Amino acid sequence: MSTDRKTQLSTDPANTEHLRCGERITMDELAVHLDAARVWLRQLALAAETPTVPIELGANICDRLDAMAEEPGRFGQNLARADTVISAWQPLRPYLPNRESWGARAHGSDRQQWGKRLSTVLSLHQLLAPVSDDLPWRDEEPGIAYLDGLNGIPGVGEWESARAARRRAAARQAAIQDQAQQERCSTCQAIAGTHRRTENGHIADAYHKPRITRATQVVDEALGEEQ
C-alpha cells in the first residue's frame, strides 16, 4: 500500500482519493481528517479576527467558526475510540439493549419479531455503547470482538452504508432521466434531445415508458461496465 501524499484534484464530493491511501478510508484516517478540520476551522476563526479591511467579524464569523470546530473534533475522538475498540479486538456485549442479536447472528433472523431494530453492521453509537471496562456479563455471556461478530455475514467485504446506497440510487435515477431525453420516443414520436409532449401538445418532464425502459438499459449497462 502506497503512503505517498495525494493531491486534491477536484471539488467533486465523490472525489475522495486524496483522503485515503487504500481503496477505502480507514477509521484512523477518518479520525485524523476530522481533527484536521477542527484545527482548520479554529485557525480560520483566529485569522478572521484581523482581516485586511477593518471589519468586525468576531460574533458573526469567528465565534461561530469556533463553535463549528467542536463537532468534527468530537466526531474524530469518537472514531478514534471506535478504531481502538475494533483494532484491539475488545469484546462487545453480545446483545443490544432489548436482547437483539447483532452481526452475523442477526443475519436471517425473524424480522417480524425484531423489525428495524435488528442490526448486522452496527452504527458508531451502537458500537461504542456496549464497550465497558466493568463487564459482569462476561461469565454468563462472553463478549464478542466486533470483527468476529461480523464474520460470516454474506458480502460483508463489499458492504456500503445505507446513505451510500441511497446516494447511488438517486444518481442512477438522475442518469436515467438525463438519458431518457437522449432517446427517441416511440409513443409520442418525440425526437432525441426533446421533452415528451402530451396528446394536446403540452411539454412534460416525465417520459413515456418505452423511453424510460431504453434509458434504464443504457444506464445500467454503463454502470455495470464501471464496476
Clarify whether residues 97 and 142 are in a common domain.
Answer: yes
Q: Tens digit of pLDDT for each residue in 43-67?
A: 999 999 999 999 999 988 999 999 9
Q: What pLDDT does 124 receive?
A: 92
Q: What total of structural domains would you count in the chain?
A: 3
**Domain presence at residue 10:** no
User: Is residue 188 predicted with pLDDT exceeding 90?
Assistant: no
Please report the pLDDT score of residue 134 as a whole number. 53
The label of the residue with cell 458500537 reads 127
Note whether residue 146 is domain-resident: yes
Q: CB–CB of 21/8 below 8 Å? A: no
Tell me which of 9-13, 78-82, 147-151, 215-219 is least confident: 9-13
Average pLDDT for 168-187:
90
pLDDT tens figures, 147-164: 999 998 888 888 888 888
* Distance separating alpha carbons of residues 107 and 86, to the nearest angstrom: 20
Same-domain check for residues 101 and 118: yes
Average pLDDT over residues 127-143: 65
d(CA 16, CA 3): 15
Q: Cα–Cα distances in Å, from 134 out to 98, 145, 171?
A: 20, 16, 46
Question: What does the pLDDT read at residue 31?
Answer: 96
Same domain, yes or no, for 23 and 83?
Answer: yes
- Residues 139 and 133: their CA atoms lie apart, in Å, by 14
Q: What single DSSP character describes residue 211?
A: H
**How does pLDDT run across 61-120, given as a tens digit for each residue?**
999 999 999 999 999 999 999 999 999 999 888 888 777 888 888 876 555 554 444 468
Residue 4 located in a structural domain: no
The C-alpha cell of 31 is what? Answer: 479520525
Is residue 36 one of the residues assigned to a domain?
yes
51/71 same-domain check: yes
Residue 1 in domain: no
Residue 105 and residue 150 in one domain: yes
Q: What is the pLDDT of residue 116?
A: 44
The vertex-25 CA angle with 23 and 30, nearest 5°, equals 165
In a domain, 12, yes or no: no
Q: What is the CA radius of gyration of the chain?
A: 25
Answer with the one of 58, 87, 116 that is the final residue of a domain: 87
pLDDT at 75: 95
Interval 4-18 mean pLDDT: 84
Q: Indicate if 167 and 125 belong to the same structural domain.
A: no
- The percent of residues in the chain predicted with pLDDT above 90, rounded, is 44
**With contact defined as beta carbons under 8 Å apart, do 203 and 197 qualify?**
yes
Range name among 80-84, 108-112, 128-132, 223-227 with the lowest pLDDT average: 108-112
Per-residue pLDDT band at 136 (split at 50, 70, 90): low
Q: Which domain holds residue 131?
A: 91-158
At residue 86, the pLDDT reads 94
> Looking at the structure, do residues 99 and 149 belong to the same domain, yes or no?
yes
